[in-house]
């Protein structure tokens, strides 16, 4: 890595989020293609990093890229460019599938390049954007060599048919839908279990407590469990331990979790939100269901739980689909092309 990188990817949020996960996974791959570093708090040591103060005081010997993914990062890029007179070309990636506020629209207008993670996200921008879909690192996310041994190491039932749902515990993610579908299904399927991972914030604690009460009332507290927020390496291993993944979100910007699950050879049941319709081949690598539809979710889960051979075949197809269409190297190369174009401008 060059002492003075050509591209800075800020991450100004300490807690794990979808944007942070993108930076953590993408930057090491891009670093093999261009001199890039992340900056900001809470990044693991394997991510090429530069202190924020140093990023703000890089020499003015040439143009560099400031690649923001949040409003705060766009605003800081403007300060660096206009107040501190740093030579940064400004670039923004948007995953949002909603109308932007006036302030966000103003920030977006100041950018020299725009990227959207899906065609739908691009449609909410007032300016042309290049669509670059997220990819997944297939060297990190891959099927377990020995799923039974892995489950024993993780303290999970080696004989279970294990469903996972990973992300923050809140209504947006459809955690309540999966919980209630599980209560319907698990009583008649003694092998089936569900695990949730992800942080429960104070504002969503009552929501989680209500679901835990419903689970306890059904006598399923040992088979539908909330594991909390896991370290990054443990999260990957929990993906590998699954038989089936569920992403019944009511809203999603892009949604990386189905990609990560499928890369681990795990079929996915997901709502038709975010980019899920593009990522999942309905009936082949999993199932797509209507948004906020408990009955449809229950039936899709029932199908995959009750057909071991179909579930195994879908897991193999899911891995092949990710390797062919959604490897992270494609995303990295597409972004590096945009960086080089910006850097070549007079």
Tens of pLDDT, residue by residue over 201-251, are 999 999 999 999 999 999 999 999 999 999 888 999 999 999 999 999 998
Least confident range from 119-128, 266-275, 325-334: namely: 119-128
Going by C-alpha positions, the residue among 128, 113, 96 that lies closest to residue 255 is 96
User: What are the C-alpha distances in Å from 333 to residues 30, 161, 298?
Assistant: 7, 37, 39
Q: How confident is the model at residue 2 (pLDDT cuts 50, 70, 90)?
A: low
Residue pair 63/89 in contact (Cβ under 8 Å)? The answer is: yes
For 147-325, give the CATH class.
alpha beta
Q: Residues near 146 by Cβ (< 8 Å), separated by ≥ 6? A: none
Residue pair 29/137 in contact (Cβ under 8 Å)? The answer is: yes
Would the pLDDT of 81 be above 50? Answer: yes
Written as six digits, the tokens of 127 are 């300016």
Q: Residues near 27 by Cβ (< 8 Å), separated by ≥ 6? A: 9, 36, 37, 38, 47, 48
The Cα 118–Cα 121 span in angstroms is 5
Phi/psi for 158 (5° steps) reads -70, -20
Do 147-325 and 7-135+327-344 have the same topology in CATH?
yes
Domain 7-135+327-344 has CATH 3.40.50.1980: no
335: left (phi over 0), alpha (psi -120 to 50) or beta: alpha
Where along the chain do its domains lie?
Answer: 7-135+327-344, 147-325
- The pLDDT score that the predictor gives to residue 195 is 98
């Amino acid at each position: 890595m060059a002492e003075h990188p050509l591209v800075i990817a800020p991450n100004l949020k300490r807690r794990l989020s979808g944007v942070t996960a993108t930076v953590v996974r993408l930057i090491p791959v891009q670093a093999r293609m261009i001199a890039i570093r992340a900056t900001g708090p809470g990044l693991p040591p394997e991510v090429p990093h530069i202190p924020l103060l140093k990023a703000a005081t890089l020499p003015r010997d040439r143009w560099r890229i400031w690649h923001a993914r949040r409003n705060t990062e766009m605003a800081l890029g403007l300060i660096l460019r206009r107040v501190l007179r740093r030579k940064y070309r400004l670039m923004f990636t948007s995953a949002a599938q909603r109308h932007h506020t006036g302030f966000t629209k103003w920030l977006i207008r100041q950018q020299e390049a725009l990227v959207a993670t899906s065609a739908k996200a691009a449609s909410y921008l007032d300016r042309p954007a290049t669509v670059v879909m997220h990819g997944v690192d297939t060297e990190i996310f891959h099927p377990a060599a020995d799923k039974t041994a892995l489950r024993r190491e993780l303290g999970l039932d080696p004989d279970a048919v294990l469903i996972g749902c990973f992300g923050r515990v809140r209504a947006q993610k459809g955690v309540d839908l999966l919980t209630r579908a599980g209560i319907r299904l698990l009583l008649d399927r003694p092998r089936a279990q569900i695990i949730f991972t992800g942080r429960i914030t104070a504002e969503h604690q009552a929501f989680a407590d209500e679901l835990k009460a419903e689970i306890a009332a059904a006598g399923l507290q040992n088979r539908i469990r909330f594991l909390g927020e896991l370290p990054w390496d443990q999260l990957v291993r929990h993906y590998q331990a699954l038989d089936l993944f569920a992403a019944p979100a009511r809203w999603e910007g892009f949604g990386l979790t189905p990609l990560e699950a499928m890369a681990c050879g795990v079929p996915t049941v997901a709502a038709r939100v975010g980019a899920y319709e593009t990522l999942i081949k309905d009936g082949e690598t999993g199932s797509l269901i209507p948004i906020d539809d408990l009955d449809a979710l229950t039936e899709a889960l029932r199908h995959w739980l009750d057909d071991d051979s179909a579930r195994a075949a879908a897991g193999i197809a899911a891995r092949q689909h990710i390797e062919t269409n959604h490897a992270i190297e494609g995303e990295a190369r597409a972004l590096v092309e945009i960086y080089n174009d910006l850097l070549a401008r007079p």
